Amino acid sequence: MEKIVKEIYDAVVNGNASGVKTKVQAALDAGVNIESLLNEGMIAPMKEVGDLFESGEYFVPEMLIAARAMQAGMTLIRPVLLAQDIKPVGKVVIGTVKGDLHDIGKNLVSMMLEGAGFEMIDLGTDVSPEKFLEAIQAHQPDIVGISALLTTTMTNMDATLRYFEEKKVRDQVKVIIGGAPVTQAYANTIGADGYAPDANQAAALARQLMAA
Ligand code: B1M
């Protein structure tokens, strides 16, 4: 790994957003290979951050700070990638379910997925089944991710899936769900394609679904 890419890797793991930005710009100016910058400088450190979270060394704040540092680098890398037409791993439409305004976890999942190489379309919070459908039709995603933090809004995940069936788009996408009250058992009950308990595992799940 080139020295500057290793420095970017460390800055992402340490959540140093301004350091990431400065170093990514320097790497781009020096003509460092964009795929190496993305894979080794952005995606690999987020995997380490996820591992640190799972081993109990990092907690949600550290994970958020690292994710923001990665995002700071991605704002510079994204336009170069788009210009070079490097294919993303897959496309994901994500949102918090209808009636629910919690977005911290959903944002974290979105950032981790972006870090894992996915193109993300984030619909925000309080996303109705109709808004999800519009996004499916407009963006043709591989995966739809739905987050819920309230026991009262969780049931809208079920309603969203039933709406997809009614509108005959359910077979076009994989649906993954998560959020504090959500469980694998609930995912099975409503027929979602996957459940992840945290952002790191959501990225792993999305990669698995793309490989399958
Ligand atoms: Co609210 N809130 N809140 N709240 N809030 C909870 C969820 C609650 C558990 C607090 C409590 O009572 N102990 C409780 C829900 C009770 C229940 O339903 N069982 C609650 C309530 C009741 C409410 C209101 C109804 C309060 C009121 O007005 N009376 C209200 C509802 C508003 C609405 O949504 N309509 C409300 C409002 C709010 C704020 C606006 C003040 C704020 C949200 C700010 C924001 O998001 N921008 C807020 C907050 C901050 C919380 C707590 C304190 C923290 C949530 C959070 O961000 N956690 C929360 C208590 C708690 O959870 N301890 C609480 C950190 C985040 C990183 O974790 O979101 O779980 P989390 O995401 C994780 C995983 O769940 C998973 O990965 C993430 C990262 O590892 N994950 C996914 C999430 N989405 C995923 C999607 C996936 C896969 C994994 O695939 C697509």
* Ligand 1 and 204: CB distance under 6 A: no
Best of 149, 161, 176, 177 to mutate for ligand 1, by most ligand atoms within 8 A of CB? Answer: 149
Asked if 103 and 174 sit in the same domain, the reply is: yes
Q: Assess whether the C-beta atom of 100 lies below 6 angstroms from ligand 1.
A: yes
- What atom of ligand 1 comes closest to residue 94's alpha carbon? 91
Same domain, 95 and 186: yes
The residue contributing the CA closest to ligand 1 atom 50 is 102
What total number of domains does the chain contain?
2
Tell how far the Cα of 179 is from the centroid of ligand 1, in angstroms: 8
At residue 20, the pLDDT reads 97
Are 96 and 66 members of one domain?
A: no
**Same domain, yes or no: 110 and 73:** no
Of 61, 83, 105, the domain-final residue: 83
- Ligand 1 midpoint to CA 150 (Å): 7
Residues 175 and 144 in one domain: yes
Ligand 1 atom with the shortest distance to the CA of 64? 67
Q: Give the pLDDT of residue 88.
A: 84
CATH number at residue 177: 3.40.50.280
Residue 63 and residue 101 share a domain: no
Residue nearest to atom 68 of ligand 1 (CA): 105
Distance 168 CA to ligand 1 centre (A): 31
CB 97 within 8 A of CB 68: no
- Per run of 10 residues, the mean pLDDT along the chain (length 212 residues) is 94 97 97 89 88 92 91 88 78 98 90 88 98 98 98 98 98 97 98 94 95 89
First and final C-alpha spacing in the chain: 30
| Same domain assignment for residues 64 and 101 | no
Residue 45 belongs to domain spanning: 3-83
Strand ranges across the sheet with 119-122: 119-122, 91-96, 143-147, 174-178, 194-195
Residue after which a domain boundary falls, among 83, 110, 129: 83
How far apart CA 43 and CA 52 sit, in angstroms, is 14
Do residue 206 and residue 108 come from a single domain?
yes
Q: What is the pLDDT of residue 133?
A: 98
7 lines ligand 1 (CB under 6 A): no
Q: Tally the residues of the chain.
A: 212
User: CATH no. for residue 17?
Assistant: 1.10.1240.10
What was the pLDDT predicted at 60? Answer: 87
Domain boundary among 62, 83, 104: 83
Shared domain check, 123 and 171: yes
Which pLDDT score is estimated for 208? Answer: 96
pLDDT, residue 212, reads 86
The predicted structure's pLDDT at residue 85: 64
Q: Answer yes or no: do 142 and 72 share one domain.
A: no
My answer on whether 197 and 127 are in the same domain is yes
Query: Is 180 found in the same domain as 144?
Result: yes
pLDDT value of residue 63: 86
What is the atom index within ligand 1 of the atom nearest the CA of 102? 46
Burial of 151 (0-12, 13-18, 19+ CB in 10 A): exposed
